[in-house]
Structure 1
Amino acid sequence: MGSEPNVKIGNEAIVCAEHTVIEGDVKIGCKTIVHPTVKIIAKNGPIVIGDFNLIEEYSTIINKSEETMIIGNYNVFEVGSYSESLKIGDYNVIEYKARLSKNTLLKNGCVIGAKCVVDWDQTLDDNVVVYGPDCKTRIQSEKPIAQTMQLEFLSKIMPNYQPIRKPNWKLEKAMAKSQ
């Protein structure tokens, strides 16, 4: 994948180049990990991805709206997940093959369970868990933990096995809140 002027990759982010599609006006935050075979497509409006996110294989993040899609910090997009959500807060987990529509917004600490399809026209409050074949909801008492150890491990090991796109922008301060 060539160097695209509208794709900005933050300092210490690991973005695999092989079999990864990143198109349009996309900004990827510091220390975010993007696995191979990921698709991040800003079709009509920009996508801003915060810091310390983990985006796993075969995940798709697509903005078909003209509004800016904003993804916070410390989120996990597991293998095969799909999101058109225009606003995702911090510490959320979108599990294996889960799908989010553009009308569903996540605050903080939500978990969208494996294979759940969430196309509700609403904002999910903090710590909502969507689970099971019927996509039921409940509230969990604590937000999911940050995957900092996994991010550190992947940032060390992935460059040994994958061609990596070089960071091309740096902020004075990371976008992440200090925790």
Structure 2
Amino acid sequence: MPQDNSKVKVMPKAVVCEESKLRGDITFSSGCVVHPSATVIAEAGPIIIGENCIVEEYATIAHRLAPGEEYDDNNILSIGTQNVFEVGCNVEAARIGDKNVFESKCFVGKGVSVSNGCVVGAGIKMIARQHLPENTVVYGEQALQREAIDKQGSQTLQIDFLRKVLPNYHHLRKPNYDPKKARSVV
């Protein structure tokens, strides 16, 4: 998978490992943590990942082209804040709000829209076009859905830990974009 580093924007305080596979116009907001072996593909249009999201090993976030579709700068996949993409998940959702958890090895297809505070359980496959209302938990072999009793907790402790530990073991991409200065700092 060829790297297209010229369009990858890393905001200050984001931790993005060099070993991650990135293709297309991708923006990592402040506080994001991207593990090595994570994959982000912006094929159909730009991807903007909100603040304090975690993308773990072998997780894939993709904004793919449909057959006959072409890349469009206005076709933006905007991912909210404080989302967690766990090991081996594959997320191609049309929309992703805030404070969602995509557990290990789940698959969320292009026709799915995820609001806020949702959990897609480990191994779940969601391919049908649908909208997950706020605080929905998808679980079990039949991908049953229910409303969560409690709201999603904060990932602050995990993000702080990863921000301290990852630089000790991996090379990081340097921040190359500061929205306050509104220009690249390459």
TM-score, normalization by structure 2: 0.88
Structure 1 CA distance, aligned partners of 2:3 and 2:61?
20
The verdict on how the C-alpha distance between 1:2 and 1:111 changes in structure 2, with shifts beyond 3 A counting, is closer
Q: Which runs of 5+ in 1 are unaligned?
A: 173-179
Amino acid of the structure 2 residue aligned with 1:27: T
Out of 31-40 and 138-147, give the one that drifted further.
138-147
Q: Which runs of 5+ in 2 are unaligned?
A: 66-71, 181-186
Look up the SS of the partner of 1:5 in the other structure: helix
Superposed displacement of residue 8, structure 1? 0.3
Which of these residues, 85, 103, 122, is aligned with residue 114 of structure 1? 122
1:100 aligns with 2:101: no
Q: Deviations over 1:87-119 (max 9, x none)?
A: 100000000001101110111000000000011
Amino acid of the structure 2 residue aligned with 1:128: T
Name the larger-Rg structure.
2
Superposed displacement of residue 122, structure 1? 1.6
Structure 2 CA distance, aligned partners of 1:59 and 1:75?
13
Which of these residues, 79, 85, 96, is aligned with residue 77 of structure 1? 85
Structure 2 CA distance, aligned partners of 1:171 and 1:132?
42
Amino acid of the structure 2 residue aligned with 1:46: P
Aligned partner of 1:63 in structure 2 is: 63
Out of 50-59 and 61-70, give the one that drifted further.
61-70
Structure 2 CA distance, aligned partners of 1:43 and 1:59?
17
**Aligned alpha-carbon RMSD (Å):** 1.4
The verdict on how the C-alpha distance between 1:2 and 1:94 changes in structure 2, with shifts beyond 3 A counting, is closer
Instruction: Give structure 1 regions of 4+ aligned residues with deviation exceeding 2 angstroms.
Output: none
Contact in 2 for aligned 1:24/1:41 (Cα 8 Å): yes
Q: Deviations over 1:142-169 (max 9, x none)?
A: 2211210010011011101100001111
Q: How many residues align?
A: 171
Contact in 2 for aligned 1:68/1:86 (Cα 8 Å): no
1:38 aligns with 2:38: yes
Contact in 2 for aligned 1:109/1:142 (Cα 8 Å): no
Superposed displacement of residue 86, structure 1? 2.1
Aligned partner of 2:17 in structure 1 is: 16
Aligned partner of 1:152 in structure 2 is: 160
TM-score, normalization by structure 1: 0.91
Contact in 2 for aligned 1:108/1:143 (Cα 8 Å): no
Q: Deviations over 1:66-94 (max 9, x none)?
A: 52111100000000000111210000000
Superposed displacement of residue 3, structure 1? 7.4
Contact in 2 for aligned 1:100/1:119 (Cα 8 Å): yes
Structure 2 CA distance, aligned partners of 1:133 and 1:9?
38
Aligned partner of 1:48 in structure 2 is: 48
